[in-house]
Structure 1
Amino acid sequence: MRKLKYFFVAIIGLVILQGCGAYSFTGTNISPDVKTFQVEFFQNQASIIIPGIDQRFTNQLQDIILNQTNLDLTTSSGDLVYEGEIVQYYVAPTNATSSNTAAQNRLTIAINVRFYDTKNPKEDLEQRFSFFFDYPASQAETAVRDEAIQIIYDRITQDILNATLAKW
């Protein structure tokens, strides 16, 4: 009777461990036959051209996928392909003072992304992602640009990862 008890405990333990095998702590849901990804250069096609923000976004998207998945980066023939362009970069006032001047400005960046899953074309996606950064109008946009772009890109790249690999 004691051996039968251990046998059932062992079977239950195996079932539990087997169920945990497909779980990913990053929340990604990647098919086991997908091994590589590629990120094409995201050109800046916004009306305002800030040098280097296109390369910075491309690198940041590559980094987040490398850090949060077990996929390998490749320069061609990737199982997953990301491409697109920066389509919007603009600064606009958001709050006014009593003297009709801006109290706060908002930097907004929008990026159009095309995602191709060569193993499962039903998962292909084309979507626009955007985010913003608010800062006091007393500060020049150039003074907050690096911090703003970092915060915006952190959010956009996480949104892209969630939409393409986590399916959130």
Structure 2
Amino acid sequence: MFKRAAFSVLIIVALACVSQSCAYRLDAASIPAGLKTINVQFFENNAPFVVNNLSQNFTEALKNKIRSQTRLSIVRGEANATMSGAIVGYSIAPVSVQATGTTSAPPIASASRLTITVTVKYVNDIDKKLNFDQSFSRYADFKGDLGTQEQNVIALILPQLTEDIFNKAFSNW
């Protein structure tokens, strides 16, 4: 009896998906058939505060995301699609403060937030309606001095940024 009920539910869900033109995919990447190559250009760091290796790390993280989750070949020069842009924001702000214990001293940040903002222009020559020019921001909170943990905090943010950009370009979300 249980098998019959489970099978019936499965059939109903499958029919509902078909009737609703359900296009959900587990891998979530939706790449037009003619799209074979992409040129991911170097993302310059144009933020007011420049971290030496941020441009290189971000550009490589984005390329690795595309390499690992698509069939696209990353090329230099002419390609079916191009992704370009710049790092335009790198800011640190307090998210919580604590008293210093004296009335004359100002409160200090007990936790801070690092936010990185990237502008991305995606041009898809195969399917022009997928083109976009948009900013993406992500952040991570940290305690203490950023100097000793900056690379670790950046390493938390980059996968989030590349996931957002990847989803916008290839998942039609």
Is the pair's TM-score, using the shorter chain for normalization, greater than 0.5? Answer: yes
Q: What is the CA distance between 1:78 and its match in structure 2?
A: 1.3
Number of positions where the alignment pairs a residue of Structure 1 with one of Structure 2: 146
* 2:120 counterpart SS class: strand
Percent identity at matched positions?
A: 29
State the TM-score, normalizing by the size of structure 1. 0.82
The reply on whether 1:158 has 2:163 as its aligned counterpart is: yes
Give 2:149's aligned residue: 144
Deviation at residue 98 of structure 1 after TM alignment: 2.8
TM-score, normalization: structure 2? 0.80
Query: Is the CA contact 1:26–1:69 (under 8 Å) kept in the aligned structure 2?
Result: no
Runs of 4+ in structure 1 off by over 3 angstroms are 22-25
CA distance in 1, matches of 2:99, 2:153: 27
Counterparts of 1:70 and 1:121 in 2: how far apart (Å)? 20
Distance (Å, rounded) in 1 between the aligned partners of 2:119 and 2:42 = 12
RMSD of aligned Cα (Å): 1.6
Distance of 1:106 and 1:156 partners within structure 2: 15
Is residue 55 of structure 2 the alignment partner of residue 54 of structure 1? yes
Question: Does 1:116 find its partner at 2:117?
Answer: no
CA 1:106/1:72 → structure 2, altered by over 3 Å: closer, same or farther?
Answer: same
Alpha-carbon deviation of 1:23? 7.8
Q: Does structure 1 residue 107 correspond to structure 2 residue 114?
A: yes
The 1-side partners of 2:24 and 2:139 are apart by 33
Provide structure 1 residue ranges, at least 5 long, that are not aligned to the other structure.
1-18
Distance 1:26 1:37 in 2: 19
